[in-house]
Amino acid sequence: MFNWMAALKVIAISAIPFLELRVGIPVGIVSGLPPGVAIALGVVGNVLQVPLIIFIMYMLRRIAQEVPAAARWLQRIDSAAERHQAKVHRYGWVGLAILVGIPIPGTGMWTGAAVANLVRMPLVLTVLALASGVAISGLLVGAVATGAIAVIELF
């Protein structure tokens, strides 16, 4: 019988910034979901953030024009995103997808959205890049989690 509670847990955890796929997929696998299902649900949960992130970045740019504190916060975000800006300029949406696809802190969807916003990437390409990057990240996290669990089960 399918474990709906574990499935919902994976989606919910994967939609939480900073936890995202890195935590959601292993939780799903440990909860008994097949790895492919845990990966798919993790990707779905993580992609649910895309519209929210894009909206927040858009609104933050608008608010920053009027509110100095928001402008300072946006400047910090832009400074962090500038490290990746050259790659995205050079490789376009594929570069952004690769950036988001690397499952380490500081390279996820929030950073990707900030970089896309900074380079003024069109909305369609931003969504495509973020979703593709999340899929790449999900496959990598799933592979690592499955391998780690297999090694643990040997002992």
Q: Is the pLDDT of residue 19 over 80?
A: yes
Instruction: Assign 10 a pLDDT band (cuts: 50, 70, 90).
Output: very high
Domains: count for the chain: 1
pLDDT tens-digit map of 86-103: 888 889 999 999 999 988
Q: Is the pLDDT of residue 155 over 80?
A: no
Who contacts 117 (Cβ-Cβ below 8 Å, separation ≥6)? 54, 57, 58, 61, 81, 126
- Rounded mean pLDDT, 49-75: 86
CA angle 110, 116, 122 (to 5 degrees): 130
The residue segments making up the domain with residue 30 are 4-154
